[in-house]
Each structure stands twice: as C-alpha cells, then as structure tokens.
Amino acid sequence: MQLKAHDLAFRYGKQPWIFKNINVTLEQGEIVGLIGPSGCGKTTFCRVLAGLLTPKMGIVTLNGAPISNKGYHPVQLVFQHPEKAVNPRWKMEKTLNEGWQPDAKILDALGIQREWLSRWPNELSGGELQRFCVARALGPQTRFLIADEMTTMLDAITQAQIWHAVLEIAKEREMGILVVSHEAKLMQRLCDKVIHFDQNQ
C-alpha cells in the first residue's frame, strides 16, 4: 500500500501558488514527519492528500489508482482545532459514528468516557473533543492518517495518551501516518523520516 502525491500544485483561486511540483510517497506502516515554516502550505498539502481540496495540477494515488471521493476516504485528516472539525449541532455520539462505529477497544484506548457521548461539543474540553476526532478518523478502511498538529494544543499527558493509542492501532493495521508538527522532540520520537516542506529551498 502506497500513498503518492504526483507533481502536486495548488493555489487558492487566482492567488499565488502555495506549492508546485510536490512529489511525496508514504509507504504502508511508515511514519513520516512534515516540517516547514509557518504559512508554507503544510495544512493545504494535507487537505489535498485527504481529498478535501482538489489539486490544480497533479494527482494523489493509493496503490497507483486515483482515490475516489465517494464514501469513506482511506486518507483521514485530524487537525489542530477539533472544535472546527465537529458539527456544533450534533451530540458527540452522532459525531463519533459519522463514518463508522468505533468499538469499545478504541474508545478505551483513547480514554473516551461513555458519559461524554450524550454531550454537545461545547460541553467538552479541547483534549476530550480531539479524542473523538481521532476515533472518528480511525475507521477500518483508513490506510493513512494525516496528523496536522493533532496534539499541539494538548497537555503532555493527553498528548502521550492519544499518540500511544494511535501508534498501537497503526502498528496493528500497518497504517501509514504523516505527522505535521513544529515540535522537534515529538518528530524525533515518532518518525521514521522527516520531509522538509519549503518551496523556497
């Protein structure tokens, strides 16, 4: 299983190009870091990989085939601000089960308490909410997880707990992970290799 970005280019509307000619390959089970200065386009690249934005040039393939945007996307993105990633009008149980039904093992690994399921998103802390976003992204059809500053806003204990659970699941399923972070220590600890995303280099 291989996720590949072929000659990707993107810009918002007619604005200047954010990036051009990006070629990146992620292998099954591989944990790859992505670093680069603020504003260089890392989040935009992640959104293209996960099918949330369409590249202006190039293509993203999974095992050589273009990824369909219909149904559950095999590349799932979790980003920094969980409150922007959930519907404020949905209770947590509905959000959790949006794409699949996480089992007790996943809920326990991520420390999701059952009483949170009947709450609204604004009745949870950022760390609690992020656990739901991670669980939601870890469906059985997820082949690659894109963690865009996934634990940046969280305290060290929550950060460690979430990463511990994600790494266990990734190992079990041979899922690949792209980690975007400004935290050098986290990158060193997690990643097999690190890609520098900087168009000016």
Ligand X SMILES: Nc1ncnc2c1ncn2[C@@H]1O[C@H](COP(=O)(O)OP(=O)(O)OP(=O)(O)O)[C@@H](O)[C@H]1O
Contact residues for ligand X, defined by CB under 6 A: 12, 18, 36, 38-44
- Smaller CB distance to ligand X: residue 15 or 69? 15
Minimum distance from residue 18 beta carbon to ligand X (Å): 5
Residues in the chain: 201
Which CB sits closer to ligand X, 40 or 190? 40
- Tell the smallest beta-carbon distance from residue 109 to ligand X (Å): 28
Q: How far is the CB of 48 from ligand X (least distance, A)?
A: 10
Between 86 and 146, name the residue whose CB sits nearer to ligand X.
146
Looking at the Cβ atoms of 39 and 64, the one nearer to ligand X is 39
**Smaller CB distance to ligand X: residue 36 or 102?**
36
**For residues 131 and 162, is the Cβ–Cβ distance under 8 A?**
yes
Half-sphere exposure at residue 157, Cβ-oriented, CA atoms within 13 angstroms: 2
What is the nearest approach in angstroms of ligand X to the Cβ of residue 52? 11
Q: Measured from the CB atom, is 114 or 196 closer to ligand X? A: 196
DSSP state string for the chain: -EEEEEEEEE-STTSPPSEEEEEEEEETT-EEEEE--TTSSHHHHHHHHTTSS--SEEEEEETTEEPP-SSS-SEEEEES-GGGTS-TTS-HHHHHTSSS---HHHHHHTT--GGGGGS-GGGS-HHHHHHHHHHHH--TT--EEEEESTTTTS-HHHHHHHHHHHHHHHHHHT-EEEEE-S-HHHHHHH-SEEEE--TT-
Q: How far is the CB of 39 from ligand X (least distance, A)?
A: 4
Nearest approach in angstroms of CB 150 to ligand X is 12
Which two structure tokens, joined as six digits, stand for 193? 């290799």
